[in-house]
Amino acid sequence: MTLSIESQAFTEGQPIPRRFTCEGDDVSPDLAWSGVPAGTRSFVLIVDDPDAPDPAAPKMVWDHWLLYNLPSDCSGLPVAVASTDLPSGAGEGINSWGRSGYGGPCPPIGRHRYFHRLYALDIVLEGLERPTKDRLLLAIDGHILARTELVGTYQKGDG
């Protein structure tokens, strides 16, 4: 069995519904995963947009949501999960808006891709205290048992 991630809100390569964007309620979509490898001690979830600010001329990756230390028995997250409702022990990193928590798609121009990457780790991360994505990626280096991703798209005006 291979680690996989899915959402009832959208399927691979398809548009993310407006509800989960800055033009809607700006809440996180549901996510569910399966195929967890033996020895998994925690998960990291990173949601980012590599097409910022313009998919025709991307200049940066915009980080939308950073979660770490999701427990190994966690198999997903519900719609609109609040920071206070995350599983015990889970932590949040700092996104590109300079805050923790989910920030939905809000592309200034064109159709952007939004990568929901899940990493199964052989450790529980310690001492991070609201890391940036770069710091989080350094911390997980050498500890990834498996990874998977789900990509959705969004362009302002999508229904």
Residue 75 lies in a domain: yes
Kindly state whether residue 144 falls inside one of the protein's structural domains.
Answer: yes
Does residue 148 lie within any of the structural domains?
yes
Q: What CA–CA distance (Å, rounded) separates 151 from 159?
A: 18
In 3D space, the residue among 103, 34, 29, 27 whose CA is nearest the CA of residue 62 turns out to be 103
| 145 inside domain | yes
Is 129 within the bounds of a domain?
yes
- Per-residue pLDDT, 158: 82
User: Whose structure tokens read 């809000």?
Assistant: 106
* Cα 21 to Cα 102: distance, rounded to the nearest angstrom: 10
Give the pLDDT score at 155: 96
Q: Considering the domain boundaries, does residue 42 fall inside one?
A: yes
**Within a domain: residue 89?**
yes
Per-residue pLDDT tens for 3-29? 999 999 999 999 999 999 999 999 999
**CA distance linking residue 83 with residue 65, whole number of Å:** 11
Q: What is the pLDDT of residues 118-146, one digit of tens each?
A: 999 999 999 998 999 999 999 999 999 99
As given in the structure block, the two tokens for residue 34 are 């399966």
CATH number reported for the structural domain that contains residue 82 in this entry: 3.90.280.10
Q: Which residues of 121-153 are buried (b: 16+ CB within 10 A; e: fewer)?
A: bbeebeebeebbbeebeebbeebebbbbebebb
3-state secondary structure of 137: helix
Parent domain of 143: 4-154
Please tell me the total count of domains within the chain: 1
- pLDDT tens readout for residues 35-81: 999 999 999 999 999 999 999 999 999 999 999 999 999 999 999 99
Determine the pLDDT at residue 159. Answer: 67
What three-state secondary structure class fits 84?
helix
- Domain assignment present for 159: no
